[in-house]
Amino acid sequence: MSRTSGRTVEGRGRLGSVLSGLAVALGCVLFLGGFAWGAIEYQPYTVPTESMVPTIKAGDRILAQRIDGSDIKRGDVIVFKQKSWGDMLLVKRVVAVGGDTVACCTNGKLTVNGKQIDEPYLAKGQAAESSQIPTVEVPKDRLFLLGDERSGSLDSTAHLTEAFNGTVARSAVKARVDAIAWPMNGMLARPAGFEKLGGISSPGPLRLVLTAIVVGAVLVLGGAAYGPIAKRLVSAAGRGRSSPVPPEASGWGSVEDSSGGGPRKVARVVLLDAEDRILLLHGHEPDDPADDWWFTPGGGLEGDETHEEAALRELVEETGITEVELGPVLWQRSCSFPFAGRRWDQDEWYFLARTTQKGTVAAGLTELERRSVAGARWWTCRELTEAHETVYPTRLAGLLRRLLDEGPPARPEILDTEIV
């Protein structure tokens, strides 16, 4: 592993992890924020009657934006409560507002202020009203309401003999219907026929609310899926780009030929002494000693070795240390990187180990390792934290600090996948 390529591997892995975390965090904000926004802005209702057919049927669940009655315009479908109409929540359409003159019918159409209104939301072939509506002047701050099912709707036409000619006060309005949530018929069509009388209402923020929720869910799922996807990419890289590994590289954390089933299993050792110092090897590019870094002892499994057997064998070959108490697997990591002119794809297990030996003798190095391993050193956690040298994994100082403070994890921690 070259220092440059290794940095790219670790850097991209860490960048991917950071971006993944940001995506999940932003997704949670959007997802939960969208629901909170929707809960503040909208109230669901179940429509009990057929008075708004075909626009809204009995039993439909609607989403109505909480809105002040002063903001209601012609054409809006509203939820309201009028004591003289039964003191229950009702759903009707506003066809005229204070100051308007409404009547029916002229050429089979409703008229407001003398203008004939196109009402495409009525059932095909249905008249604008089943009976004549006398000319009504709507009092200030009141609304004239009709159901879209004109033949049987108990609307303003059924209350013409009451005070205010069957109109309803703006203060009785609870909300304006924006959409049918169930069945999922979507947003209500805007009442364009009333535009000739002035502006009509714009839709509420429901589309933005839904967009926030959907985008948030996508970011959460996408961010959470980063790790598994990246791991699959490592395997794909190993199958598609790895070149055969020469025998002399077998101890150097090597990988199998792609024809052998993808990344080779690698065992590494987090070796601590009685003073809680960690042993690291000093490596470099075979042809460029200035391109150097520090890393944990370890290498690839050989034959039918277990991870534990490979960890102990590699430790003896690379350090000469034999008095070892091998502990549990601390971390697991997948990576793919170029080194010594080849691509290396690895699935690494990091074992905790303890020893009382201090001296090291690298008597079992392969030819490639002799050209790329310069020595070994014991490091304190503080030295690692303050080090300016390149150390792999790059989070090793923080991982070691947590290990010393909290002990081994209950199960192996999956480190960031690293690909270059």
* Residues contacting residue 111 through CB under 8 Å, at least 6 positions apart: 102, 103, 104, 105, 117
Q: How far apart are CA 388 and CA 253, in angstroms?
A: 24
> Contact, 264 vs 249, CB < 8 A?
no
CA 342 to chain centre: 36
- Cα angle: 209, vertex 170, 121; to 5 degrees: 60
Q: Which of 17, 20, 92, 156 is catalytic?
A: 92
131 is catalytic: no
Q: How many CB atoms lie within 10 A of CB 87?
A: 9
Q: How far apart are CA 326 and CA 351, in angstroms?
A: 7
- CA distances to 12, 29, 106, 120, 194 from 112, in Å: 66, 46, 10, 16, 9
- Cα angle: 176, vertex 181, 143; to 5 degrees: 20
Name the token pair of 222.
Answer: 């996408």
| 159 Rama sector, left if φ>0, alpha if ψ -120 to 50, beta otherwise | alpha
Q: Is the dihedral of CA 161, 165, 167, 170 positive or negative?
A: negative
CA 115 to chain centre: 51
Q: How far apart are CA 268 and CA 1, in angstroms?
A: 15
151 is catalytic: no
CA 323 to chain centre: 48
What's the length of the chain?
Answer: 420
Amino acid identity, residue 155? D
Give the burial class of 202: count Cβ atoms within 10 A of its Cβ; 0-12 exposed, 13-18 middle, 19 or more buried.
Answer: exposed
Name the token pair of 274.
Answer: 């009685």
Residue corresponding to tokens 């921690």 = 413
Q: Which of 2, 20, 51, 201 is catalytic?
A: 51
* Catalytic positions: 51, 92
